[in-house]
């Protein structure tokens, strides 16, 4: 098996961009449902305006150039191409840190915090198997354990004997798994928005704080009102993929629905919280690589995401922003939690919404360990 690491640059052919323009111009728009609000999905008026901006003002070439300012590479691990950003600190004694994104995000979630971290850390930022330039997947079975083994192998190839891991969303499931498969290498695990779902009804409800009760209420509301995307992606990812790969507005709406639900505050549209060019670049990562189906497949269609895990014993920190719903007592069996921070603002996309708070917490945690 080759362990070669190959430099990589994003170079999208112009005909792909021309095709996108044509598809956007030919979009068949549904009639708005009564009220045309977020309760029934992404509002037509709002999405049409965003799609028109995408067609007439957004520049992929500008985004491509900005991404390519960071050193990117690919390598084959366990039969799968893995794409990653690798930024070494000017400080040779810096500590290696592996950052893992989730769905519907991508590796570009972390690009904005690279300058904030590289005085202290060497950074490795891979794209999950099946996502973006690590996709599509070539075979099945990419559960958290297999991804973790790939990440441990990647860090070995890069020459890092000791390192930390950090992640949110799917990254919050993968990062602790890296500590389980490589406990002698992983010094610490840092998570934003970790979540364990207790059995409902909760027997110890009266013992919970108001904040914990609110979080459990929101978990139940999520299962009532938002679980549809998981049900589809975990059971029929290929059926969904036909629409998302053929219609850029279909791909845009599928992702924007989650950015609206998971950014904070919820009543504010996501383009008022995050830069709309960034939102569109993230959508473009899925669109240009044709990985909507394989990302759904890896993210939700694999066994083991909710299975009980063995505690690795590796020190673990969690920071929970206002949108997220982690409750410490339900996570302690699987994690050796040594630091827990609750934040009264910010949402699921911490590196984008509250970068200073996230970076500060990462720094403090790993400084306490190294």
pLDDT in tens, 281-322: 999 999 999 999 999 999 887 765 566 789 999 999 999 999
The yes-or-no verdict on residue 230 having pLDDT over 70 is yes
Higher pLDDT, 199 or 280: 280
pLDDT at residue 199, as a whole number: 87
Angstrom CA distances, 320 to 71, 275, 280, 344, stand at: 30, 22, 26, 9
The residue-averaged pLDDT of 133-155 equals 95
Catalytic residue among 58, 297, 300, 330: 297
Mean pLDDT of 335-355: 98
**SS3 for the chain, per residue?**
CCCCEEEECCCCCHHHHHHHHHHHHCCCCCCCCCCCCHHHCCCHHHHHHHHHHHHHCCCHHHHHHHHCCCCEEEEEECCEEEEEEEECCCCCCCEEEEEECCCCCCHHHHHHHHHHHCCCEEEEEECCCCCHHHCCCCCCCCCHHHHHHHHHHHHHHCCCCCEEEEEECHHHHHHHHHHHHCCCCEEEEEEECCCCCCCCCCCCHHHCCHHHHHHHHHHHHHHHHCCHHHHHHHHCHHHHHHHHHHCHHHHHHHHHHHHHHHCCCCCCCHHHHCCHHHHHHHHHHHHHHCCHHHHHHHHHCCCCCCCCCCCCCCEEEEEECCCCCCCHHHCCCCCEEEEEEECCCCCCCHHHHCHHHHHHHHHHHHHCCC
**Whether the Cβ atoms of residue 200 and residue 179 lie closer than 8 Å to each other:** no
Q: Is the pLDDT of residue 1 over 80?
A: no
Q: Which pLDDT belongs to residue 237?
A: 94
Find where tokens 């998981």 sit: 230
Q: Which domains does the chain have, with CATH numbers?
A: 5-367 (3.40.50.1820)
pLDDT tens profile 176-189: 999 999 999 999 99
* 169 labelled catalytic: yes
Q: Is residue 323 among the annotated active site residues?
A: no
Report the range out of 56-60, 199-203, 366-370 with the highest average pLDDT: 56-60
Exactly one of 83, 86, 323, 348 is catalytic; which is it? Answer: 348
Q: How far apart are CA 130 and CA 345, in angstroms?
A: 31
338: nearest Cα among 365, 321, 315? 315
Mean predicted confidence (pLDDT) in 33-55 = 97
Summarize the confidence of residues 108-131 as an average pLDDT. Answer: 98
Mean of the per-residue pLDDT values for the chain?
Answer: 96
- Name the pairing type of β-strands 5-8 and 315-320: unpaired
> In the annotation, is 78 catalytic?
no
What's the rounded Cα separation, in Å, for the pair 151 and 98?
8
Cβ neighbourhood burial of 221 (10 Å; 0-12, 13-18, 19+): exposed
Length of the chain: 370
* CB distance 317 to 344 below 8 Å: no
Q: Write down the pLDDT at residue 301.
A: 72
**CA-based end-to-end distance of the chain:** 34
What is the C-alpha separation between 337 and 320, in angstroms, rounded?
13
Residue with tokens 């610490």: 188
Mean pLDDT of 124-150: 95
State the pLDDT at residue 325.
96
Mean pLDDT of 44-71: 98
Q: What is the mean pLDDT of residues 79-101?
A: 97
Choose among 341, 365, 368, 352: nearest CA to 113: 352
């Amino acid at each position: 098996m080759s362990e070669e690491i190959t430099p990589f640059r994003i170079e999208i052919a112009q005909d792909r961009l021309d095709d996108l323009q044509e598809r956007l111009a030919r979009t068949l728009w549904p009639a708005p449902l009564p009220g045309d609000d977020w309760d029934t999905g992404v509002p037509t008026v709002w999405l049409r305006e965003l799609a028109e901006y995408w067609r007439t003002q957004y520049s992929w070439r500008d985004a491509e150039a900005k991404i390519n300012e960071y050193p990117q590479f690919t390598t084959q691990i366990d039969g799968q191409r893995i794409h990653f950003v690798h930024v070494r600190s000017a400080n040779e004694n810096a500590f290696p840190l592996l950052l893992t994104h989730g769905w519907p995000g991508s590796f570009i979630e972390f690009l904005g915090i690279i300058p904030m971290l590289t005085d202290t850390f060497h950074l490795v930022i891979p794209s999950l198997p099946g996502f973006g330039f690590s996709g599509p997947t070539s075979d099945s079975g990419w559960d958290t354990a297999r991804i973790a083994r790939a990440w441990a192998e990647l860090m070995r190839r890069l020459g890092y004997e000791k390192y930390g891991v950090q992640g949110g969303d799917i990254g919050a499931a993968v990062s602790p798994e890296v500590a389980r498969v490589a406990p002698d290498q992983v010094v610490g695990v840092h998570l934003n928005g970790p979540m364990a779902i207790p059995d409902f009804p909760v027997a110890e409800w009266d013992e919970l704080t108001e904040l914990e009760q609110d979080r459990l209420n929101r978990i139940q509301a999520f299962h009532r009102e938002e679980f549809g995307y998981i049900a589809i992606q975990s059971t029929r990812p290929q059926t969904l993929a036909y629409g998302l790969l053929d219609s850029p507005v279909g791909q845009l709406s599928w992702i924007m629905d989650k950015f609206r639900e998971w950014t904070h505050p919820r009543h504010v549209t996501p383009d008022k919280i995050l830069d709309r060019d960034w939102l569109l670049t993230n959508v473009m990562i899925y669109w240009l690589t044709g990985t909507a189906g394989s990302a759904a497949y890896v993210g939700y269609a694999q066994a083991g995401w909710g299975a009980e895990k063995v505690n690795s014993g590796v020190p673990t920190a969690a920071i929970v922003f206002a949108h997220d719903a982690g409750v410490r007592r339900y996570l302690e069996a699987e994690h050796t939690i040594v630091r827990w921070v609750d934040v009264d603002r910010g949402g699921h996309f911490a590196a984008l919404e509250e970068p200073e708070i996230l970076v500060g917490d990462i720094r403090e945690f790993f400084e306490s360990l190294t």
